Chains A and B, each alone.
Chain A
Amino acid sequence: MIRQNEQIQITGVGVVSACGNTLQEFFTSLLIGGNYEKNIDFGNCVKFSYNKGILAEMPPFQAEERVTDLGSLALKRAYEDWQGNIESYSKTVCIIGSGMGMADELKNHVDEPAFYLSSLAGKITRYAGLNCESIYIGNACVSGSQAVSLGIDLLESGYCDLVFAGGVDCLSLMAYAGFNRLNAIDRSSCRPFDKNRAGISVGEGAVFFVLEKKNASEEAKVQNKSYATILSASVTNDAYHIVRMDPNGTEILRAMEETTYKAGIEKKDIDTVIAHGTGTILNDKTELKILHDFFGEYRKEICVMSVKGAIGHTGGAAGSFNILTAIGCIQYGKVPRTSNTRELDEDCCVPVVYGTGINRQVKTVMANTFAFGGTNIILLLRGHG
């Protein structure tokens, strides 16, 4: 169990993304602004041979190779960034979240065994050179943040004393085709909370974190190169619909209340929210209403942004990218703008950062992720000092 003077801290970060491959690169790209999902270099990018209704150019990569490369590279980078020694820990666990995983690979290979899809986590862990238990969460958009949330649970319970956790997804033709048929794709760009928003853009990437329980003193945090402390995390389920959010937001609100209570802070202590902000018409509306209801009189003091305008919806990695953005806000004292958003929805009742980013001393950040299937993950992170 965690001792009184210990907290769960993020002591290593590994990134592979269209925006950059370190925290600094990634966050600087967000600050500069841009629509990065279109700048992803896939090499030889060709239209699929069967182009009946395919509306995007999709590269001819092999899904298994792509997703395992992305994941293992980000995991390796987290390990190297951490600079610790795994041998000095009694038990290490690697938790990998992915929404689509290697599902796209089954398009090409009809002979894969029935257990093929579940082999992803073991592959990523092995390719990254880690010899530890691996856990694979396949919970759509919350996979990455649920990996972090479960990592916290494992550390708090004493199950293990070192966790690598995060999310990965590569561009998926299945996901693109599916979202397209749900009329959830915005052909121009993703514009979270924009008055004229029309849906998501697809993206890809991987982010992994090293989590451990460390001495909570400020000197120790600096000495341990702790990026941020995770104050608390909550998991709830809407139990409502397989793709739609509950418009009442009851379970999301409960998760926010629970997380805030467990963290021992008050709502007014939260200064920034990294929203789920997919750019879809209904989800953004629901999320704005929930933030309004939760923060109430304090809502004018917060900043809200969504990173999906810049990097698209990275599937199972989306929650991890939200956590990464939260860390960036804490570390650099800035809140990037929500890319592509030009005119806020008339119903927008919380301060969304758009147009230009802002300088702000960011101390406590809420990172939200909501998934197809109704699972909601809310995390609270805090900087030092």
Chain B
Amino acid sequence: MINMGVRCLHYTSYKDLNNCGIHFKDGRIMDDFSKMTVATAKALYEKALGSEIKPHRFGIVLATKTGNYDSVRGFHKVLSKDGASAINPSLFPNVMLSTPLCYVAKELKATGFTIPLFIDKGYDQALRIAAVVFKLDKCDAIIVLYTEEKQKCFGLFLESEEFLLKREKNARFYISTNIN
């Protein structure tokens, strides 16, 4: 049984994005998908005192059903209307899921296990992968983020049970899962 301690949760609504009080360093070129993701990750990091986690032991699992749908559509719109020469090279990376993942990693200085997932069924797949990573002792803490274009980003700051015990910290609750 793998027990993952949930230190905190955070929810960022797309409607509240402009009022979330966060200054995005790369705000000029970030799309809303990335902004929601970073806003949620940053709030979790600060609430859970993520700076106490070693960067190489800090992981990120980013899951989405929509992906950066709007950026992909926007890219095609420009391509169709004005051709390839009108593409803004700074905005091109927004069509890939690796980009919001990178923004989060940069913001939190997380250099450990990072993975972006497209999920077409339940969100639990992301949690199960986090559980596998904890079981293999690859991370002490993982931020799991679920971002849906034009809707919301919901995130959890997880720590392994062993690490919580070592740090003498409490979790709000535990998510338990059987692997094997």
A residues adjacent to B (C-beta < 8 A): 1, 50-55, 99-101, 103, 106-107, 110, 114-122, 133, 135-140, 146, 150, 153-154, 156-159, 173-174, 176-182, 235-243, 251, 254, 371-375
**Contact flags (1/0) for B59-75 with A, using CB distance below 8 Å?**
01000111101001101
Assembly CA distance A372 to B101 (angstroms): 10
Is B3's CB within 8 Å of the partner chain A? no
**Which residues 85-117 in B have Cβ within 8 Å of A in the complex?**
85-89, 92-93, 95-99, 101-103, 105-106, 108-117
Is B164's CB within 8 Å of the partner chain A? no
Chain B contacts of A100 at CB under 8 A? 95-96
Q: Would B85 and A52 count as touching, CB distance under 8 A?
A: yes
In whole Å, how far is B109's beta carbon from the nearest beta carbon of chain A? 5
Chain B contacts of A254 at CB under 8 A? 56, 111
Chain A contacts of B56 at CB under 8 A? 236, 254
In whole Å, how far is A371's beta carbon from the nearest beta carbon of chain B? 6
Is B128's CB within 8 Å of the partner chain A? yes
In whole Å, how far is A281's beta carbon from the nearest beta carbon of chain B? 16
Known: A153-B132, A373-B98. A178 touches B87 (CB 8 A): yes
Known: A158-B179, A372-B98. A54 touches B93 (CB 8 A): no
Other-chain contact of A157, B85, B88, B96, B132 (Cβ < 8 Å): B132
Segment of B7-15, B118-126, B165-173 in the binding face? B118-126
Q: Which of A53, A99, A178 gathers most chain B CB within 10 Å?
A: A178
Assembly CA distance A181 to B98 (angstroms): 19
**Which residues 74-89 in B have Cβ within 8 Å of A in the complex?**
75-76, 79-80, 82-89
Known: A119-B120, A239-B105. A182 touches B92 (CB 8 A): yes
Q: Would A373 and B133 count as touching, CB distance under 8 A?
A: no
Chain A contacts of B140 at CB under 8 A? none
Assembly CA distance A374 to B55 (angstroms): 14
Q: Would B69 and A140 count as touching, CB distance under 8 A?
A: no
Is B180's CB within 8 Å of the partner chain A? yes
Chain B contacts of A55 at CB under 8 A? 84
Assembly CA distance A257 to B119 (angstroms): 32
Q: Would A174 and B67 count as touching, CB distance under 8 A?
A: no
Q: Would B73 and A106 count as touching, CB distance under 8 A?
A: yes
Q: Would B106 and A240 count as touching, CB distance under 8 A?
A: yes
Is B149's CB within 8 Å of the partner chain A? yes
Chain B contacts of A103 at CB under 8 A? 67, 72, 95
Q: Would B102 and A54 count as touching, CB distance under 8 A?
A: no
Other-chain contact of A118, B106, B120, B179 (Cβ < 8 Å): B120
Assembly CA distance A242 to B68 (angstroms): 15
Given contacts A53-B84, A106-B69, 15 further A-B contacts (CB under 8 A): A50-B79, A55-B84, A121-B120, A137-B115, A138-B116, A139-B101, A146-B115, A150-B115, A173-B79, A178-B92, A181-B92, A182-B89, A235-B114, A238-B105, A374-B114
Chain B contacts of A243 at CB under 8 A? 93
